[in-house]
Amino acid sequence: MIRTVRNFALVGGVGFAIEAILLTVLVQLAGWQPWYARIPSFLTAVLATWALNRRHTFAGRGLERRSVEAFLYILIQACGAAINLAIFGACLWYWPQLRSVPVIPLAIGAIGGFAFNFGASNAFLYARRRAEVHR
């Protein structure tokens, strides 16, 4: 379990870096509003983390149909993103000066979404295959 949590956190770190870079570029260089910039930054990071988690964190535990697995993974991540976005929004609301550096509220929100995403991925999406492997 420790290895799984560690790998999930490492992959999450990669996803965070992808999202943070894209979010920062869109806000600071392209002039996007932070809320709009979160859409492509989130989707890019989720697809990258799905591929990495499937290969490394939950290897051999994925669903036969990758499209179904990807859809369910995105659904779980979207729920975690709702937690993340609520925290992100609260930070921007209470500290408007953070709008110019959206990576800070992004990081705070990421902490809130991490626990949900790992728990749901491990317990629901990848649990079935794990149980079959141990038989």
Where do we find the tokens 């990758």? 66
> How far is residue 42's CA from residue 15's CA, in Å, rounded to a whole number?
9
Cα–Cα distance, 26 to 46 (Å, whole number) = 17
Residue 128: pLDDT band with limits 50, 70, 90: low
Q: Which of 26, 17, 34 is nearest to 93 (CA)?
A: 34
Express each pLDDT in 28-72 by its tens digit: 999 999 889 989 998 999 999 999 998 999 888 878 888 888 899
For residues 87 and 68, give the distance between their C-alpha atoms in angstroms, rounded to a whole number: 29
Identify the domain containing residue 71 by its residue range: 2-133
* pLDDT 10s digits, 79-113: 998 998 899 899 999 999 998 888 899 888 888 88
Cut 0.75: pTM above it: no
Number of domains observed in the structure of the chain: 1
Is 91:109 a contact under the CB 8 Å cutoff? yes
